[in-house]
């Protein structure tokens, strides 16, 4: 009972956080779920459906400011990325000769993503603006890693920092991109990990409701944040997450 209350409260607070600064909530919730839930693959699977609701809600409330060209580019990349992830998982099932991918522990990409984030934010040469074409490639990479690490938000977030987007547009477009990934990986967990989402509806439904209301409240709080403060919080949160990924805190 206590664990369920902790998860519901965490889902609410992290959804509020994501609605305010556009990120941080998903990977924080992932870390909390990993502590409470024993099976790693179930953490990623259930976290995915919870974050799907969170991201769809954010996309809906900010739908008028979604950057559609970026979203279109991202979609063209993430679809083949998800197919590649499914092919890798299937190959691992055959290689290890197991009945389900849930029997295989896959957790080696987090430190690499953390290093990438820090490089992108602080070491990369900033001379050239990021082309929208880059979102096709980042979409492909996002589709690949979301299956293995659960939260691809930190991976794609640096690209939004460097675009000339308003804070609401950053949150809306990034949420829409992530929603595609969370939706696309559900069939992979159903067919290759044998996850039955309906069987644990009593666990998932309260968490889904928590992120929905957390997002609604976060939107109201966002309006009180000036642009400079938003960018500062966004970069600070991203840096802390990167360090956590390198140290394997999450």
User: Tell me: the pLDDT tens digits for 205-214?
Assistant: 999 999 889 8
- What is the pLDDT at residue 226? 73
Of 41-50, 134-143, 171-180, 231-240, where does mean pLDDT reach its minimum?
Answer: 231-240
pTM over 0.85: no
Least confident segment among 58-62, 69-73, 86-90, 228-232: 228-232
Contacts of 177 (CB under 8 A, 6+ apart): 70, 71, 74, 78, 135, 139, 142, 156
Look at residue 223 in the predicted model and tell me its pLDDT.
Answer: 66
pLDDT of residue 193: 92
Residue 13 near residue 216, CB atoms below 8 Å? no
Q: How confident is the model at residue 168 (pLDDT cuts 50, 70, 90)?
A: confident
Is residue 128 predicted with pLDDT exceeding 50?
A: yes
At residue 133, does pLDDT exceed 90?
no
pLDDT, mean of residues 60-84: 94
Quote the CA–CA distance of 98 and 132 in Å, as a whole number: 41
Q: How far is CA 218 from CA 12, 88, 167, 210, in A?
A: 10, 37, 13, 12
- Number of domains into which the chain is organized: 1
Number of Cβ within a 10 Å radius of residue 239: 16
Structural contact between residues 157 and 23, judged by C-beta atoms closer than 8 angstroms: yes
Q: Which residues contact 125 (CB under 8 A, 6 or more apart)?
A: none
What CA–CA distance (Å, rounded) separates 244 from 23?
Answer: 14
Give the residue, 143 or 222, on which the prediction is more confident. Answer: 143
Q: CA dihedral in degrees (138, 101, 187, 63; nearest 10)? A: -40
pLDDT at residue 146 above 50? yes
**56 band by pLDDT with thresholds 50, 70 and 90:** very high
Give the three-state DSSP class for 97: coil
pLDDT at 224 over 80: no
* Mean predicted lDDT score pLDDT of the chain: 83
Residue 205: which domain range? 2-246
Round to whole Å and give the CA distance between 223 and 204: 30
Q: Which of 98-112, 116-130, 177-191 has the highest mean pLDDT?
A: 177-191
Which has more confidence, 40 or 74?
74
pLDDT range class, residue 30, cuts 50, 70, 90 = confident
**Most confident region among 75-89, 101-115, 136-150 by mean pLDDT:** 75-89
C-alpha span between 79 and 56 (Å, rounded): 18
Region 132-159: mean pLDDT is: 86
Helix H segments across the chain?
2-21, 25-36, 40-61, 68-96, 110-118, 134-149, 153-161, 167-192, 201-222, 227-246
- pLDDT score, position 250: 44
Q: Do 26 and 18 meet the contact criterion of CB atoms below 8 Å apart?
A: yes
Q: What angle do CA 76, 78, 80 make, to 5 degrees?
A: 80
Count of Cβ atoms closer than 10 Å to residue 192 Cβ: 19
């Amino acid at each position: 009972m206590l664990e369920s209350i902790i998860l519901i409260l965490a889902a609410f607070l992290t959804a509020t956080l994501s609605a305010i600064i556009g990120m941080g909530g998903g990977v924080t919730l992932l870390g909390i779920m990993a502590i409470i839930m024993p099976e790693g693959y179930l953490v990623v699977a259930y976290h995915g459906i919870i974050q799907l609701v969170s991201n769809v809600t954010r996309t809906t409330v900010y739908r008028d400011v979604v950057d559609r060209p970026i979203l279109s580019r991202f979609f063209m990349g993430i679809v083949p990325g998800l197919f590649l992830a499914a092919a890798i998982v299937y190959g691992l099932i055959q290689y290890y000769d197991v009945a389900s991918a849930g029997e295989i522990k896959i957790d080696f990409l987090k430190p690499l993503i953390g290093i990438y984030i820090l490089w992108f934010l602080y070491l990369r040469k900033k001379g050239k603006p990021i082309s929208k074409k880059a979102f096709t490639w980042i979409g492909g990479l996002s589709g690949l890693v979301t299956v293995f690490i659960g939260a691809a938000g930190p991976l794609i977030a640096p690209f939004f920092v460097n675009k000339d987007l308003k804070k609401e547009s950053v949150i809306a477009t990034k949420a829409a991109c992530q929603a595609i990934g969370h939706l696309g990986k559900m069939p992979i967990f159903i067919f290759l990990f044998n996850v039955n989402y309906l069987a644990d509806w009593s666990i998932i439904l309260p968490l889904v409701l928590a992120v929905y209301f957390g997002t609604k409240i976060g939107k109201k709080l966002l309006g009180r944040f000036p642009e400079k403060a938003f960018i500062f919080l966004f970069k600070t949160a991203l840096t802390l997450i990167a360090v956590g990924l390198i140290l394997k805190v999450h």
